[in-house]
């Protein structure tokens, strides 16, 4: 089935977005042509998860970032770190280039983080001027995916994951960063022991050090009510991934699917919302750079600020 094959490819790609760099290793000198004048960028709003445009970022990171700015985004979340660089750029170089386009790099997914390399990853995130250090899936080999059933899950126990998150969270806090855990659908479903992982994480991590980047597509797909989570665990959902769902349950540009994002914004203060990022894991026949324009226009109609 076409959708099944596409979804399988998606998850395999997702395994790599924080583990393998999507950027070029080439360094280029900035010129005046790289800089977008402020007058050329009209009413920039909201954030973009660069995973959406990962192929373009791999081919031409500087040119793609310029197009992201032109699409109307004010800030970005990286998903291409390797060998101490973001998309082939040194952390400060990446920060300065993004800022030259009138945007800010505020967050990064760090799927390859371990307790051994965390200090270097954190230092590079800090040097890039970012605030949010995001764990995109259970780290250190804990994330699992069964291609035959398209089921995502986790090796190890919730206790194992919480222990890792608490330690990484303490390290991030000490460096002045905010650690967030990003969910898929399985965290909102009961495991074989009847445990809902999202609840277990929220109840057993220190809110001073560990919080959530809630993915509203995946929580919706799992049947979880995000607003109920906002009320039960106030202030814990600092960042949101904003992605829409088509009638077949697959990804769609914001405003072209079934999710009414206004319902979540009613409780944004209770949730603790600080930043949000448009994301679309797959755009199918639509060019990702066109999809992000559609989504940027739509976030305004839902009331995002």
> Domain extents for the chain?
2-23+43-302
Taking only the tens place, the pLDDT of each residue in 56-83 is: 999 999 999 999 999 999 999 999 999 9
Is the predicted pLDDT of residue 3 greater than 90, yes or no?
no
C-alpha torsion sign, points 195, 198, 202, 208: positive
- Residue-level pLDDT at 43: 86
What's the DSSP call for residue 39? G
CATH code of the region 2-23+43-302: 3.20.20.150
Those residues with Cβ within 8 angstroms of residue 44's Cβ, 6 or more apart along the chain or in another chain: 69, 72, 73, 74, 102, 103
Whole-prediction pTM = 0.88
Q: Which residue has the tokens 């800030």?
A: 75
Q: What pLDDT digit, counting tens, does each position of 183-239 carry? A: 999 999 999 999 999 999 999 999 999 999 999 999 999 999 999 999 999 999 999
Summary count for the chain: helices (H), strands (E): 12, 14
Q: Is the pLDDT of residue 39 over 80?
A: no
| Backbone φ, ψ for residue 213 (5° rounding) | -105, 100
Instruction: Give the phi and the psi of residue 211 in degrees, each rounded to 5.
Output: -140, -165
Q: What is the DSSP letter of 233?
A: S
pLDDT tens per residue across span 255-287: 999 999 999 999 999 999 999 999 999 999 999
Least confident range from 3-7, 72-76, 93-97: namely 3-7
């Amino acid at each position: 089935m076409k959708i099944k094959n596409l979804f399988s490819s998606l998850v395999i790609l997702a395994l790599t977005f924080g583990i393998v760099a999507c950027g070029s290793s080439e360094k280029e000198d900035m010129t005046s042509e790289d800089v977008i004048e402020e007058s050329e960028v009209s009413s920039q709003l909201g954030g973009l998860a660069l995973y959406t445009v990962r192929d373009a970022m791999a081919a031409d990171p500087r040119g793609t970032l310029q197009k992201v700015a032109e699409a109307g985004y004010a800030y970005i979340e990286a998903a291409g770190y390797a060998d101490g660089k973001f998309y082939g750029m040194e952390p400060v170089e990446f920060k300065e280039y993004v800022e030259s386009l009138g945007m800010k790099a505020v967050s990064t997914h760090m799927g390859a983080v371990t307790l051994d390399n965390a200090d270097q990853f954190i230092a590079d995130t800090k040097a890039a001027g970012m605030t949010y250090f995001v764990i995109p899936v259970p780290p250190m080999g804990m994330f699992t995916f069964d291609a035959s059933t398209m089921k995502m899950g986790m090796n190890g126990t919730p206790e194992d994951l919480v222990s890792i998150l608490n330690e990484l969270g303490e390290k991030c806090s000490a460096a002045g960063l905010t650690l967030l855990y990003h969910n898929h659908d399985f965290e909102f479903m009961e495991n074989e022991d009847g445990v809902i992982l999202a609840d277990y994480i929220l109840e057993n991590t220190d809110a001073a050090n560990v919080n959530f980047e809630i993915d509203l597509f995946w929580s919706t797909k799992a049947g979880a009510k995000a607003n109920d989570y906002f009320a039960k665990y106030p202030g814990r959902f600092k960042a949101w991934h904003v992605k829409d769902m088509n009638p077949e349950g697959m990804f769609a540009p914001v405003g072209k699917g079934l999710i009414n994002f206004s319902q979540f914004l009613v409780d944004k203060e209770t949730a603790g919302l600080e930043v949000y990022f448009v994301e679309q894991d797959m755009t199918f026949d639509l060019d990702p750079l066109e999809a992000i324009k559609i989504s940027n226009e739509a976030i305004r109609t839902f009331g995002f600020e």
